[in-house]
Chain A
Amino acid sequence: MNQRHRQTAGKAWIPLAFLAAYLLAFFVLPVGKMLIAGFANEEHQLASGSIAIFLDNSLYIESLLNSVMVALGASVLAALAAVPIAVTLWRFRLQPPLILELFGFLPLFVPPFMLSLSLQSLLGRGGALGMLLQTVGDLDPALWGLPGMMVIEAIHYFPLVLMTLVLNTSAFAQQAHEAARLGNSWSRLITRVFLPLGFPGLAFGMAITFLKTLDDLATPLSLGITNLIAPQAFFRVSTYGSQDPLSSLMAVAMIVISIVVWIVSAGFVRHGAIDWNPASGGRTPAIPPAHRRIGMLCLAGISAFYITCYSGMILDSLAGIWSHTPLPESYVLSHYASALESETGSFINTLVYCGLAAILDVVIGLAMARAIEHSPPRWNKALTWGAAAFLSVPGVALAIAYLQFFQGTQLPLLGQPLDATWFLLPMAFSVRGLPFAMRACTFALQSLPAPYVEAASLSGASRLSIGLRVILPMMAFGLTVAFLICFGIAAVDLSSAMLLVPSETDAPVSYSIYLHMQTSTGRGTGSALAILTIGFVALAMSAFVLAARRGLNPASSFRRIMFPGTPTR
């Protein structure tokens, strides 16, 4: 036994070394070099030259402030919309159906620029509501400027904020009803129970909205908005190349803002005691039908609103000729045919990049989860939060760091520069998926009861067969969840993809959608591609629910994984 222990300890350095090498090569060194590039001069001495230029340019200061304002505005708007609805659902004890609950996480798997383009079709001067409401004013979102972007991001991330609120408060809805029956007023219950309970979830949802909006590149560009920090960095890299010191500074500024926001929100998330399992015991009085109807009406209203928002894109994907008329003149299915015919390449690219990233994530996540589990309790907490802080690395910043760090690195066999291949894409995706992967893997590790392994090894089974017959089957569910979440998150990561994609043939499907939405012959193919992708994600989620219904509670494990930083036990 003792000897075995020493053996395992002797080999434990292998995954740790792998982990360290990966983190060093694809995170620490590139970001470190970018920091140096932002703050040093040609001779690598600390210099304030570029900082002075940055601060001197009113455009950059304005962009920085605009970015913070839009991200803050979007998260506050989403919260303002989510709180009353969550209160209503709580008041009437309405648990959304499982599938709707999972759809609350859909904003993380669908890029927000799709909503922006759909609204342009719907509200623009060229058709649908925009033409009918012409007398009211110009409703095209590209003409609203920054408030337009705020509203679009808020609509996009609202389901996530609502769902985090509902999940945090639902456990105590029952007790609240008991309290109300005993004479407590609902307004008192809402301020004394609902808000304190919901706050950690709200803070988490708002933080994700803030971080994703700050990092969003495709949405502002689709709206023609350039005075934000992410588009400014993107324009500088595409005009002056990756060696531009100012784009490094912009990336550093984005990282700093993200970290600050993450720390603030983490403070709230951490202090809330989150218990997602409904309190058991006591009678559960039936929900009166009138209450149920109000709650259902609420959910139906939200669903109808989202279908309307995306109807512009649905119509685009089916429209033959649609030009300056409320509805298309003819309907065709050819856009779907051409999306499937011409874009198999980008589907395969997505499978390869995101698959590679997700596999890496699972492997690295397992190594990190193990390292954290075996560390002393004091370190445990710090490591958990440190790993969650990876969430606050914006995709734009990471891509700029990669371009600077790997520039000039030649591939040994092909004689091609590294940044001209697709290799950096899966690496960037994997770093971005890491916080979620780590949590999912921690979860998977916990589903592995130590006595089983012990028993198997005592009965004389070989290490290989223990691995294959005991460990793998027990962890399969957790690892599959980890893989799927990382895959989904990588698939919509446009902010790093837009900077790292070497050519259109190497583009993943999210970038292909972005490109196809802007072809000369209309948005048909892009819309069809987008709808196929959203359909695929929704189908995968539903299949996940159905497949995992037996035995495990998929929604609860999913929730726990999606809230990085909170305790998994």
Chain B
Amino acid sequence: MRSLACLFCALALALPPLGGRAAEVVLVASSFPKEILTAYKKAFDEQSAEYHVEFVNFPGTNAISYVRDRAPGSRPDVFWGSSPDTFSALKRLRLLQPLDGFGNAEIPPVIGKLSIDDPEHFHRGQALSGYGIMWNKRYLDVRGIPVPAAWSDLARPEYFGHIVMSSASRSSTTHLIVESILQGAGWDAGWALILQIAGNCATITERSFDVPNSITRGRFGLGPVVDFLALSGKYSGFPVDFAYAWPSVITPVGIGLINGARNPEGGKAFIAFTLSEAGQRLLLRPEISRLPVLPKVYETADRPADYPDLFDITRSYLPAYAPEVSESRYQMVGALFDQSVTFRHSELVAITKTIHEVAKRLQSQPDADAAALLDKARALVYRAPIAENDDLLARKPLKTRERIAAIAAREAEWARQTDRNLAAARSWLAQANDRLARRP
């Protein structure tokens, strides 16, 4: 049977291949948007006589299996991406080659508190990614909504129904923001904040890019994004703006040579190009708008007047972010997010609305008992789905049927727990409302 399948494949492959690869091709795997890849392809191909570059593009969350599932010698040459967790995993699985005696000496290894390169040189920093909040100026102005400054602002009632974010299991950007809140605020307080923000969201999008897209368009007011997506909209003329939210997370965009590459020399040539002055300067184009790591590029006239400054940004960097911690529980944080936010979003929104309403009534007519009921309801609705020391969060060989079945059993338990919690919280909120209604 399998051989029959192989026969069909052989037939299919006898047709002209879609991505014809000659010997001098450099194959780069990346999750970046087309604008960036097209610009680099054009510039690199123009300056290199020996090589030309091709890209394989896929969601950042599948990067590791994409590389690992291919036999050495048939893997892509370079991996280029903004998720530090992915680089940490690639390094642990020995899927990267060291880049010793390599790179642009003018790029400092440490900027502010942030180390740009991997200490063992398995990957190099090529740019910086900062995470923050993007908003549509017209949308907020018309509705009189203030511009937020910190992640915790997004939990406030005035943002209810105006935020848009993506799912942590589908978007590596959202995953990084969620993880940095968990690490920055602590597991329990972090989940409380994430659930409150999610309760304020109008919708949870399936793809990360739909967040900046719907803000640019003015469908929704604001949301958490990676800086370059917001800045490229801003410098393309849309009425949007962006701020690095406190506590801000800045991570280096990495580039590394894959162990088992088809064309390692070509891969090195491409990496060297991205680190050169010409490669760094490309980042300042309006449709790209990323932060270069080569300081002298910021002095050039290419940069728009209010372009973020390298040293300002790295000063606010939150040093606690640990990619190893994030990587060890990567899949489970995504699954927890889906179970408690994505799949329960309409219930979460409904109860968040009631919580805001009760809180508002309490402001005009204070009542200690109603306030206690509200606090109880809040604590229950915005509780971490599992404890930080839960067995599920420790790294284990994943994807065996047994383990998946074990997780699925736990998920059923969470679903029941969530239903119970929501029911209890609803009744407390109703009691609080009753108390307030009975008062003169």
Chain A contacts to B: CB under 8 angstroms: 21, 24-25, 29, 42, 49-50, 53, 56-59, 120-121, 124-127, 140, 142-143, 145, 221-224, 226-227, 232, 235, 238-241, 243-246, 321-325, 342, 345, 348-349, 352, 356, 406, 409, 411-418, 420-423, 426-427, 502-506, 515, 518-523
CA separation between A49 and B202, bound complex, in Å? 37
Bound form: Cα–Cα A53–B402 in Å = 13
> With the chains together, A423 CA to B101 CA distance in Å?
42
Nearest CB of B to A449, in Å:
34
- Taken together as a complex, chains A and B put the C-alpha atoms of A420 and B67 apart, in Å, by 11
**What is the CA–CA distance of A58 and B212 in the complex, to the nearest angstrom?**
33
Q: Is B416 an interface residue (CB 8 A)?
A: yes
Q: Mark B73-96, 1 if CB is under 8 A from A, else 0.
A: 110000000000000000000000
Q: Is the CB of A124 within 8 A of B10?
A: no
**Interface stretch (choices B50-58, B301-309, B386-394):** B50-58
Given known pairs A224-B203, A520-B233, the reply for A409 and B2 (CB within 8 Å) is yes
Q: Find B404's partner among A243, A418, A522 (CB 8 Å cutoff).
A: A243
Verify A57–B415 contact, CB threshold 8 A.
yes
The reply to whether A352 and B15 contact each other, CB–CB distance below 8 Å, is yes
Q: Which residues of A contact B1 (CB under 8 A)?
A: 24-25, 29
Nearest CB on B from A162, distance (A)? 31
A472 to B149, CA, bound (A): 72
Using A59-B343, A127-B218, A520-B229 as known contacts, say yes or no to A143 and B202 having CB atoms under 8 A apart: yes
State whether B401 touches A42 (Cβ < 8 A).
yes
B345 contacts partner chain A, Cβ-Cβ < 8 Å: yes
Contact A411 B6 (CB under 8 A): yes
**Is B136 a contact of A406 with CB atoms below 8 Å?**
no
Say whether A238 contacts B170, CB under 8 Å: yes
Q: List 17 A-B contacts (CB under 8 A).
A: A42-B402, A58-B416, A126-B139, A227-B343, A240-B399, A243-B399, A243-B400, A321-B238, A324-B139, A352-B18, A409-B6, A411-B9, A411-B13, A412-B10, A414-B74, A505-B18, A520-B33
The interface stretch among B105-113, B187-195, B334-342 is B334-342
* B130 CB → nearest A CB, Å: 15
Give chain B's interface secondary structure class: helix
Task: Decide yes or no whether B158 CB sits under 8 A from chain A.
Answer: no
CB distance from B159 to the nearest CB of A (A): 14
Central interface residue in B334, B402, B412, by most chain A CB within 10 Å? B412
Residues of B within 8 A of A53 (CB): 405, 408-409, 412
Q: B375 in the interface, Cβ–Cβ < 8 Å?
A: no
Residue of B nearest to A134 (CB): B142
* Binary interface encoding of chain B residues 126-137 relative to chain A, with 1 for a CB under 8 A from any of its CBs, else 0: 000000000010
CB within 8 Å of A: which of B19-78?
19, 33-35, 38, 55-58, 61, 66, 69-71, 73-74
The interface residues of chain B lying within 8 Å CB-to-CB of A409 are 2, 5-6
**C-alpha spacing A519/B236, complex, angstroms:** 14
Closest 5 CB pairs of A and B: A324-B218, A126-B218, A57-B412, A224-B203, A324-B138
Check A503–B56 contact: CB distance below 8 A. yes
B335 touches A239 (CB 8 A): yes
The interface bits of chain B over 259-286 (1 if a CB of A lies within 8 angstroms of the residue's CB, else 0) are 0000000000000000000000000000
- Whether A506 contacts B213 by the Cβ 8 Å rule is no
| CB neighbors of A among B187-238 (8 A) | 202-207, 209-210, 212-214, 216-220, 229, 232-233, 236-238
Distance A323 CA – B241 CA, assembled complex (angstroms) = 13
A519 vs B207: C-alpha distance in the bound complex, in angstroms? Answer: 9
Contact (A323, B216) CB under 8 Å given A239-B331, A406-B5, A422-B18: yes
Cβ contact within 8 Å between A224 and B12:
no
Contacts of B35 in A (CB 8 A): 521
- On whether the beta carbons of A520 and B232 are closer than 8 Å, the reply is yes
Evaluate contact between A126 and B209: CB separation under 8 angstroms.
Answer: no
Q: Is there an interface contact between B142 and A324, defined as CB atoms closer than 8 Å?
A: yes
Closest CB-CB distance, A220 to chain B, in whole Å?
Answer: 9
Question: Does B206 lie within 8 Å of A222, measured CB to CB?
Answer: yes
CB <8 Å contact, A427 and B8:
yes
Interface flag for B240 (CB, 8 Å): yes
Query: Among the listed B69, B334, B399, B412, which residue makes an inter-chain contact with A56, where contact means beta carbons less than 8 Å apart?
Result: B412
- Nearest B residue (CB) for A330: B237
Q: For residue B8, which residues in chain A have a CB less than 8 angstroms away from its CB?
A: 25, 423, 427
Q: Judging by beta carbons under 8 Å apart, are B217 and A244 in contact?
A: no
B185 interface contact, C-beta 8 A: no
Please tell me if the beta carbons of A244 and B237 are within 8 angstroms of each other in the complex.
Answer: no
Report yes or no: B415 in contact with A59, Cβ–Cβ below 8 A: yes
Task: Say yes or no: B203 contacts A125, CB within 8 Å.
Answer: no
Q: Which of B15, B18, B38 contacts A506 (CB 8 A)?
A: B18
Select which of A140, A413, A503, A521 is within 8 A of B232 by beta carbon: A521
A522-B213 contact in complex given A59-B343, A515-B207, C-beta closer than 8 Å: yes
User: B18 near A415 (CB under 8 angstroms)?
Assistant: no
Shortest Cβ distance from B243 into chain A, in angstroms?
Answer: 17
What separation, in Å, do the CA atoms of A246 and B401 have in the docked complex? 10
CB distance from A239 to the nearest CB of B (A): 5
Determine whether B320 belongs to the interface, using a CB cutoff of 8 Å to chain A. no
Contact across chains for A520 and B343 when beta carbons are under 8 A apart? no
A518 contacts which chain B residues (CB < 8 A)?
Answer: 205-207, 209-210, 213
- What are the residues of chain B within 8 A of A127 when measuring CB–CB? 217-218
The CA of A406 and the CA of B4, in the complex, are separated in Å by 12
Q: CB-CB < 8 A to A246: which residues of B?
A: 404, 408
User: Once the chains are docked, how many angstroms separate the CA of A506 from the CA of B66?
Assistant: 14
| Complex Cα–Cα for A426 and B8 (A) | 11
Residue of A221, A241, A323, A413 with most chain B CB atoms under a 10 A cut-off: A323
Known: A53-B405, A324-B139. A504 touches B238 (CB 8 A): no
- Residues of chain B within 8 A of A140, CB atoms compared: 202, 219
Residues from chain A with a CB closer than 8 A to the CB of B238 are 321, 323
* Cβ contact within 8 Å between B206 and A224: yes
Residue B145 CB within 8 A of the other chain: no
Measured between beta carbons, the chain B residues less than 8 angstroms from A221 are 206
Q: How far is the CB of B28 from chain A (nearest CB, A)?
A: 12
> Once the chains bind, are A342 and B34 in contact (CB under 8 Å)?
yes
Q: Is B322 an interface residue (CB 8 A)?
A: no
Known: A120-B219, A522-B216. 11 other contacts (CB 8 A): A21-B4, A53-B412, A56-B409, A244-B401, A323-B136, A324-B138, A423-B12, A506-B18, A519-B34, A520-B213, A521-B35
- Kindly state whether residue B248 has any CB partner on chain A within 8 Å: no
Chain A residues with CB below 8 A from B34, complex form: 342, 519
**Does B407 reach chain A (CB closer than 8 Å)?**
yes
B15 and A124 contact, CB distance less than 8 A: no
Give Cα A224 to B419, complex, Å.
Answer: 21
Question: Once the chains bind, are B217 and A342 in contact (CB under 8 Å)?
Answer: no
B172 interface hit (Cβ, 8 Å): no
Closest approach, in angstroms, between the C-beta of A150 and any C-beta of chain B?
Answer: 15
Decide: A503 near B419, CB < 8 A? Known: A57-B412, A523-B217: no
Q: A57-B415, A142-B203 are in contact. Are A240 and B213 (CB under 8 A)?
A: no
Q: Is B411 an interface residue (CB 8 A)?
A: yes
CB-CB nearest in chain A for B35: A521
A503 and B57: CB pair below 8 A?
yes
Contact of A239 among B5, B338, B401, B415 (CB under 8 A): B338
Closest Cβ neighbor of A40 among chain B residues: B401
Contact (Cβ within 8 A) B69 A417:
yes
- Quick one: CB contact mask for B367-379 with A, threshold 8 Å, 1 for yes? 0000000000000
Q: Distance in Å from the Cβ of A67 to the closest Cβ of chain B?
A: 14
Q: Contact check, B220 vs A125: say whether CB atoms are below 8 A apart.
A: yes
Contacts of A523 in B (CB 8 A): 213, 217
B324-350 vs A, Cβ < 8 Å mask (1 yes, 0 no)? 000000010011001100111110000
Contact A423 B210 (CB under 8 A): no
Identify the closest chain A residue to B413 (Cβ): A56
A50–B408 contact, CB under 8 A? yes
The listed residue (A25, A142, A324, A417) touching B4 by CB distance below 8 A is A25
CB neighbours of A58 from chain B (8 A): 412, 415-416, 419
| Residue ID in chain B nearest A504 by CB atoms | B57
- Tell me, rounded to whole Å, the shortest Cβ–Cβ distance linking B25 to chain A: 13
Given contacts A352-B18, A427-B8, A521-B216, contact A143 B203 (CB under 8 A): yes
